[in-house]
């Protein structure tokens, strides 16, 4: 039972354009959502997060949007840079859950020159 | 700050052997976790701990054991290694809700330990 889904295994965009990564979840108890970035042979690193009481959170070039009614969130990267090429994982947690994260399967982003 | 440190980075085991993956953190985090990542899959939680002396099972605990004798260390023990345990293992830590720190939901991960069981 995949509670957090990333249906696009890969995405390719040109440098300077917008990258949009999508994530869907099924468990309505999730109330905190995070995006992690992972380079090969490294651990995931935290990128940006959003609480369920908000619908948008920005941090520089990165913006996360949350649509609770659709159980959908997306990560926008503008402008995309070659150094953004990595695997992006969506993750979710719920209050009282010991901060345990449930991860999606990841989307490989490739930013081309 | 070293953050979360995992050893070894790589290991090859024979079926039936046992080993311990080491994990230590220097951020005074109360919570610690072990995840595994299989190819094309997301990270799956094996075990977690909310403080010294307290551990609990995650989504895929079979074949593993953990202990938490100190705040800093959270070793993962594999008994009777099987090919299905071939994976990349990640240790992580976070502040606990009782530590009065904002952003407690954010986990910090180690660099991973790649284990192959042949």
What is the predicted pLDDT for the residue at A99?
81
pLDDT 10s digits, B80-89: 999 999 999 9
User: Does residue A22 belong to the interface with chain B, where contact is any CB pair within 8 Å?
Assistant: no
Our CA-based measurement puts residue B81 at a distance from the nearest CA of chain A, in whole angstroms, of 23
User: Does residue B105 belong to the interface with chain A, where contact is any CB pair within 8 Å?
Assistant: yes
Mutation target among B42, B68, B88 for the A interface, most CBs of A within 10 A: B42
Contacts of B97 in chain A (CB under 8 A): 99
What is the predicted pLDDT for the residue at B89?
98
Contact B90, B43 (CB under 8 A): yes
Torsion B87-B71-A33-A74 (CA) sign:
negative
What's the CA gap between B44 and B12, in Å, rounded? 21
Residue among A36, A32, A64, A69 nearest A51 (CA):
A32
Q: Which of B31, B48, B105 comes nearest A49 by C-beta?
A: B105
What is the predicted pLDDT for the residue at B99?
66
What is the predicted pLDDT for the residue at B39?
85
Q: Residue B97 above 80 pLDDT?
A: no
Q: Residue B96 above 90 pLDDT?
A: no
User: Does residue B110 belong to the interface with chain A, where contact is any CB pair within 8 Å?
Assistant: yes
Residue A46, φ and ψ in degrees, nearest 5: -65, 135
Contact B92, B33 (CB under 8 A): yes
State the 10-residue block means of pLDDT for chain A, 113 residues long: 92 98 96 95 95 95 97 98 97 85 96 95
Question: Averaged over B48-60, what is the pLDDT?
Answer: 95
What's the CA gap between A8 and A31, in Å, rounded? 23
What is the predicted pLDDT for the residue at A1?
73
Average pLDDT, chain B: 93
- Is A100 in Cβ contact with B42 (below 8 Å)? no
Cis peptide before A79 (omega within 30 of 0): yes
pLDDT 10s digits, B10-44: 999 999 999 999 999 999 999 999 999 998 888 99
Contacts of A9 in chain B (CB under 8 A): 40
Q: Residue B103 above 70 pLDDT?
A: no
């Amino acid at each position: 039972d995949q509670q957090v889904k990333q249906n696009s295994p890969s995405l390719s965009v040109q440098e300077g354009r917008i990258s949009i990564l999508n994530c869907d979840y099924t468990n309505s108890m999730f109330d905190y959502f995070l995006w992690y970035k992972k380079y090969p042979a490294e651990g995931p690193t935290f990128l940006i997060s959003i609480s369920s009481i908000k619908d948008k959170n920005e941090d520089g070039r990165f913006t996360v949007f949350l649509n609770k009614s659709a159980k959908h969130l997306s990560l926008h990267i503008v402008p995309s840079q070659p150094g953004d090429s990595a695997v992006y994982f969506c993750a979710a947690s719920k209050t009282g859950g010991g901060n345990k994260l449930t991860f999606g399967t990841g989307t490989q982003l490739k930013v081309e020159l | 700050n070293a953050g979360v440190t995992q050893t070894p980075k790589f290991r090859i085991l024979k079926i039936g052997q046992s080993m311990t993956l080491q994990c230590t953190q220097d951020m005074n985090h109360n919570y610690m976790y072990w995840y595994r990542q299989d190819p094309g899959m997301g990270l799956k939680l094996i075990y977690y701990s909310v403080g010294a002396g307290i551990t609990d099972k995650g989504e895929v605990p079979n074949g593993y054991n953990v202990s938490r004798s100190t705040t800093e260390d959270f070793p993962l023990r594999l008994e009777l290694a099987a090919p299905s345990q071939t994976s990349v293992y990640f240790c992580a830590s976070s502040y606990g809700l009782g530590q009065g720190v904002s952003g407690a939901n954010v986990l910090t991960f180690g660099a991973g330990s790649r284990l192959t069981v042949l």
